[in-house]
């Protein structure tokens, strides 16, 4: 029971950090200058990623998947340059 309480408190304490982390990544590139999602998928697959989902969040491409080492990733990419901006899950 004590271990469950400690684990619950730890997860609760971590939650605001994870939610806040999403807001840290913003892209302000004009839509006409964005590269297509397929280009990002090709680039990441060439780097050994397995892509599960790509969506747009705060003007960036948000990618859910696994890197070549099998690590779970939730990463943000600049839609114009396809450069990695940051990771929420590493």
pLDDT at 2: 57
Give how far Cα 30 sits from Cα of 38, 55, 87, Å.
18, 17, 23
pLDDT at 24: 82
Asked if 45 and 63 touch (Cβ cutoff 8 Å), the reply is no
pLDDT at 4: 46
pLDDT at 22: 57
Asked if 57 and 73 touch (Cβ cutoff 8 Å), the reply is no
Taking the chain (90 residues) in consecutive chunks of 10 residues, what is each chunk's mean pLDDT?
47 41 82 97 97 96 97 96 89
């Amino acid at each position: 029971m004590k271990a469950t309480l400690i684990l619950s408190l730890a997860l609760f304490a971590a939650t605001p950090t994870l939610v806040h982390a999403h807001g840290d990544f913003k892209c302000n590139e004009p839509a006409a200058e964005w590269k297509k999602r397929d280009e990002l998928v090709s680039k990441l697959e060439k780097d050994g990623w397995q892509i599960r989902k790509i969506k747009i969040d705060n003007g960036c491409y948000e990618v859910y998947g696994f890197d070549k080492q099998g690590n779970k990733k939730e990463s943000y990419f600049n839609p114009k340059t396809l450069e990695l901006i940051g990771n929420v899950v590493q």
